[in-house]
Amino acid sequence: MPMFRLLIAALMALTLSACKPAVETAGPAGNVVDSADVPDPNSYAQPERVRIEHLVLDLRADMQARTLAGSAELFLKWQDDKARELVLDTRDLQIRSVQGFDGKAWKNLSYRLDTADLILGSALRIRLPSALPRVRIGYSTVPEASGLQWLTPEMTSSKQAFMFSQSQAIHARSWVPLQDTPGVRFTYDARIRTDASLMALMSADNDPKAVRDGDYRFSMPQKIPSYLLAIAVGDVVFKPISGRSGVWAEPGVADAAAVEFADTEKMIQVAEKLYGPYQWGRYDMLILPASFPFGGMENPRLSFITPTVIVGDKSLTSLIAHELAHSWSGNLVTNSSWKDIWLNEGFTSYVENRIVEEVYGRELADMENVISQAGLAEALKSTPPADQVLALPPLTGRDPDEALSDVAYIKGQWFLMFLEQRFGRETFDAFLRHWFTTHAFTSSHSAEFERFLTVELLDKHPGKVSIGEIREWLHRPGIPSSAKPSVSSRFVAIDKAQAQWFAGDVSASELASSAWGTQEWVRFLERMPATLTSAQTAELDAAFRFSGTPNPEIAQRWYPLTVRSGYTSARPEIEKFLIAIGRRKLIMPIYAELAKTDDGRMFATAVFEKARPGYHPITIGSVEAALKAPEPKAKQP
């Protein structure tokens, strides 16, 4: 998933409810690790009895009604021939019919939808007379489907309606009835019909030369988990970058996107050299409207990308490196349940940084590591110790959307950096490539990685790393004592310039900042004290025009600082920013700071009402939680 994840963990509330306890077994050298056989608590599916092998979708996208309607045909592989129930995940789906195919004819089947759970949705329980090979479900979505966003023409640059999906973590069930767990992988075919003036795309074999006719067909021959099922419909055009890569975007954005992401083919080649062939055919990117709640989403063959990283200088293209890296870590080898999200995001953050280093140089890679590690240290201050471990227990009763944190991304990356430092880059590169190769197109878990690490690295290179150190990284909270922090020589100059300004030796306008890039500005702002004086904020704003900056990475650090410092002159630009952008990582720090005072909450609430129509349902939920007024304190007797 998305890069520049700093500070978001501290803003996420984790919900708990009762469920089954975790099952544990003894792992390597007595380590306590979770059993691979523990069911995914975030899914109703029973893959130990039956698994979806292939999915066929036939859907119509109604841009006015804001619905997808049609059928989903499931090809089944039975693990238990005596089982007579197929349990699927759904959320707010309108089920019209359920039929089974016995090899000769389709016949109606009995089914029921369980009472909806706030997090999991409703289990769809289908009774079967035998272990049928295929089941077909007629259904439609609701306009409020959590995994779909429908944009009105006024909300897009091309002034045409737009729809896109966000299936991760468990939102695929809101637009397809299926086994919505990363532990089940399947291939799929699809037919999507919509307005002839619009293009439909999926996480599949999109044809760059496709003709708009309102009737589109897709195939995904590689097995993927449900969270990588993706769809988009809108006024988009294609711009090539290389023979196997390009961008889809609204006409007014396409050219700028192609220029900004021109290094994509270089990135693919670097990743292939390090970790093996790219196994997905094409690597294209869909540039979504600014309401997209994340930086990027690694949908195979078609990464969804926020337009907020198109800033004209390629300084934020590490996000492309991150989504591309998922083609190995996450898409190729997937966490089997969301408790092991670090296997997706920690590995991807490591691979991303290696790509950045090769394409843009070690200095930039070092700066980004310093920023990320500082963000992790800040996030850990408000993260419960139980959530600071990499190998989490099952996310029982928790919404996996809210379980993503800098721990999975940055502590996970830092762990792999630690292993690289101890074993040497050449040895570790070979090990990581071996992991991707031997586990390709499978779903795995922390216990399996710990076993693989022990057999393929620790045992073959004794004395480099102890089992105790591995345990500390995987199973203990905090940053291990063996962690070596990243350093950046360029940040030394930034810190010195900032110190001179605070000492009054130079004014803000006299700082030698003309050559600073995004990362230097991020360092400059993140090293500021919690608050500044009115004179200091005004001086910085006058010198650098932070308020109204087109760079969202600068904006999402400057605006919270102005709120804490009482610099209300920035509020008009804050309002514009919050209305224009729906990416959670950029706006949630601002909402969180505004919500700390009654006046700030009133201002934020008013802005939210204006911005709400352009926000994704996931973003709406996050903002509502942030702006919720604190409970009144009980009076003392």
DSSP for 268-291 reads HHHHHHHH----SS-EEEEE--TT
Percent of the chain with pLDDT over 90: 88
Residue ranges of the chain assigned to CATH 2.60.40.1730: 50-272+281-314
- Mean pLDDT across 298-324: 96
Q: Quick one: pLDDT band at residue 12, thresholds 50, 70, 90?
A: very low
In CATH terms, 528-627 corresponds, of 3.50.30.10, 1.25.40.320, 1.20.200.10, 1.10.150.250, to 1.25.40.320
Rg of the chain on CA atoms, in Å: 25
Q: In degrees, to the nearest 5, what angle opens at C-alpha 587 toward C-alphas 120 and 288?
A: 75
Residue 60 is encoded by which pair of tokens?
A: 């119509």
Active-site entry in 260, 323, 345, 593: 323
pLDDT of residue 599: 97
The gap from C-alpha 346 to its chain's centroid, in whole angstroms, comes to: 12
Active-site entry in 227, 409, 559, 567: 409
Mean pLDDT of the chain: 92
Respond yes or no: is residue 520 known to be catalytic. Answer: no
pLDDT of residue 222: 98
Residue ranges of the chain assigned to CATH 1.25.40.320: 528-627
CATH of domain 328-475: 1.10.390.10
pLDDT digits (tens, 9 = 90+) for 262-275: 999 999 999 999 99
Under CATH, domain 50-272+281-314 is a member of which superfamily? tricorn interacting facor f3 domain (2.60.40.1730)
Q: Quick one: pLDDT band at residue 37, thresholds 50, 70, 90?
A: low
- Single out the residue of 169, 11, 54, 31 nearest to residue 472, CA to CA: 31
Residue 43, beta-bridge partner list: none
pLDDT of residue 631: 66
Residue ranges of the chain assigned to CATH 1.10.390.10: 328-475
Q: Is 218 left (phi over 0), alpha (psi -120 to 50) or beta?
A: beta
The helix (run of H) or strand (run of E) holding residue 51 is strand 50-62
Tokens 């070979």 belong to: 430
Q: How far apart are CA 634 and CA 637, in angstroms?
A: 9
- Residue 37 CB-density burial (10 A; 0-12 exposed, 13-18 middle, 19+ buried): exposed
Respond yes or no: is residue 323 known to be catalytic. Answer: yes
Collapsing DSSP states into helix, strand and coil, what is residue 221? strand
